Structure 1
Amino acid sequence: MNLPVHILTEGAQTFQLAKLKENRLTYDFDQIWAYFECKGKLLFHENFKLHKTDKDLLLKLCAYFLNDHQLCKQFNIDPNKGILLTGPVGCGKTSFMKLLSTITPKKKTFDLIPARNITFEFSNQGFSVIEKYGNYKSLCFDDLGVEPNGRHFGAECNVMGEVLLSRYDLFVNHKVKTHATTNLNAQELENRYGNRVRSRMREMMNLIPFGSSSSDKRK
C-alpha cells in the first residue's frame, strides 16, 4: 500500500505529518517531532531523544525542508538558498540533517558527505575530485572547516575552499543548493577559507545556529 507523502510509517507506528485540505498540506509539528524521535532511535541508538531547547531551531529547519514559504518568511529564511547549520561539538547538527532528509521520502533532498572524506579523496585522486563535487547534485558537507588540506603528489590544496567556489557557480547559474554543518563561527570560517569563500557562503546559504548554550548530547 502506497501511503501519501505526508504519512510515514516506522514498524507498527504511523505518523501523519500533515493534513491535506483544499490541495494544501498543513503540517503538524508535534507529529513531526514524534516521528523524528522514533526515526532517531532507529538511525542512531535506542536512547536517542530530542531536546526541547532545540525545538525552535528544528521548527525552522522543518519549515525550510518542507518548503513552507510562510514560515520561512517569518523566520527570515530564503528557501532558494542552502542551509549552514552551526553549533558546538556534539549538539546534534549531523543528526538533525540526517533526520530532515527522511521527511521527504519521495524527493531526494541532498547527499551528506563528511568534508574530511573529500580531502582524503583528493589526496588519492587529485584535482578531478574538485570537479566531481562541483556537480549538479544538492550536497551537504558535514563538519566543514575541521578537515585538513589535501595533498596530491606534492601539490597542497585547500580542497573544500575550491569546492565551495565551484558550488557557488552552480548556485548562481543553476540554482543548485549547498548545505553544510560546522563547529566554526563566521570569523573562523573566513580564517580557514578566506574572505572570498566566506562572502560566497553568505550569499548561497542561510545561517541557522544552535544556541551557544547547546550541550554536547554525546555525553
Structure 2
Amino acid sequence: MKEEINSHYNYEEVIIWLEKKGVELYGCHFKILENDHPIIFRLIAYFLKDEPTCFQFNIDPNKGVLLSGPIGCGKTSLMNVMKQLTPTDHKFFVKPCRDISFEFIQDGYEIIHKYSKGKLYQSEPKTICFDDLGTENNLKYFGNECNVMAEILLSRYEIFTSKKLQTHITTNLSATEIENQYGNRVRSRLRELCNLIAYDRQAIDKRK
C-alpha cells in the first residue's frame, strides 16, 4: 500500500528529479525502483529537512542517517544522489571505510583525528557519510592494533553531543553484527547518533 505524504513538496516529482541526477552520475542504467520508494521518501524528507514528514516517519532531522541494507541494493549511489538535495549548510562527502583503513596504515592515529575533529589546526569537523561500514579490518600501526572506525565513531558521537555535527553511515551489517565488530558502546551511541533507515534484508542486488 502506497504511503500518503502530506507535504508542500511533491515527492513523486522529487523522485523524477533524483533519477535524472542519478543518470547524470551513473549512466542511463540508473533507476529508482518503486519498491524502494518507502526508503527514498524517508531520505527525501530527511535531506530536504521537511520536518512534518520527518515527524510522520519518526525521523529526527537533527541526527544523521544510518542506511542499512544487503550488498548491492544501492545504498552508496543513493547517498551520492541525495547530496544533490542537501542545503549548502548540510553538505556532506562520502568516504569509503576501506579507504580510511588504508590511510591509517600509512599515517596512523592522525587519521582518527582527521575524520572526527578535523585535521589538526586546519579545519572544523565536517559532515561525513562513512560508506560501507564493516568492509574495513582491524589494523596494526607499529604493532598496535586499532579498531579505526570504532574510535572515529565514538569521537564523532562526542562532537555530536557538543556541536550537533551529523554523521551518516551506509552498511550491510545488522545491529548484532555492528555490536560484534565494534562493541556495544558503538552500537548504543549509533542509536543516538543516527536515524536507522533500512532496506528489507531480501532487497535485490541491483548489480546482478
Q: Do the two structures share a fold, i.e. TM-score over 0.5?
A: yes
Q: Which residue number in structure 1 is paired with residue 127 of structure 2?
A: 138
Return 84-93 or 99-108, whichever deviates more: 99-108
How many Å separate the matches in 1 of 2:187 and 2:88?
Answer: 33
How many Å separate the matches in 1 of 2:92 and 2:9?
Answer: 21
Q: Which residue number in structure 2 is paired with residue 3 of structure 1?
A: none
Q: Deviations over 1:57-101 (max 9, x none)?
A: 100110001001101111001111110000000001001100100
Q: CA deviation at 1:104?
A: 3.1
Is 1:79 aligned to 2:61, yes or no?
yes
Q: Which residue number in structure 2 is paired with residue 8 of structure 1?
A: none
> Superposed, which structure 2 residues align to 1:64-75 within 5 Å?
64-75=46-57
Q: Which residue number in structure 1 is paired with residue 120 of structure 2?
A: none
Match of 2:145 among 156, 179, 182: 156
Q: CA deviation at 1:105?
A: 6.0
Q: Percent identity?
A: 51
Q: Deviations over 1:162-219 (max 9, x none)?
A: 0001000110011000110000000000000000111111111111101222100011
State the structure with bigger RCO (CA 8 A, min sep 6), 1 or 2.
2
The size of the alignment, in residue pairs, is 195
Bigger helix fraction: 2
How many Å separate the matches in 2 of 1:76 and 1:84?
Answer: 14
Match of 1:46 among 16, 24, 28: 28
Change beyond 3 A, Cα 1:174–1:132:
same
How many Å separate the matches in 2 of 1:30 and 1:73?
Answer: 19
How many Å separate the matches in 2 of 1:169 and 1:101?
Answer: 24
How many Å separate the matches in 2 of 1:210 and 1:200?
Answer: 21
Larger Rg: 1
Report the AA paired with residue 59 of structure 2: I
Change beyond 3 A, Cα 1:133–1:126:
same
Match of 1:213 among 202, 205, 208: 202
CA contact (8 A) 1:101 1:108 kept: no
Please, what TM-score do these two structures have when normalized by structure 1? Answer: 0.86
How many Å separate the matches in 2 of 1:184 and 1:82?
Answer: 17
Q: Which residue number in structure 2 is paired with residue 196 of structure 1?
A: 185
For residue 29 of structure 2, give the secondary structure of its aligned residue in structure 1: coil
Q: Which residue number in structure 2 is paired with residue 115 of structure 1?
A: 97
How many Å separate the matches in 2 of 1:168 and 1:103?
Answer: 25
Q: Deviations over 1:131-185 (max 9, x none)?
A: 1111221111000012111221222110000000100011001100011000000
Bigger strand fraction: 1
How many Å separate the matches in 2 of 1:198 and 1:105?
Answer: 29
CA contact (8 A) 2:138 2:146 kept: yes
Please, what TM-score do these two structures have when normalized by structure 2? Answer: 0.90
Consecutive unaligned residues of structure 2, counting only runs of 5 or more, are 1-6, 118-124
Return 62-71 or 101-110, whichever deviates more: 101-110
Q: CA deviation at 1:45?
A: 2.1
How many Å separate the matches in 2 of 1:133 and 1:201?
Answer: 16
Is 1:170 aligned to 2:159, yes or no?
yes
How many Å separate the matches in 2 of 1:201 and 1:105?
Answer: 24
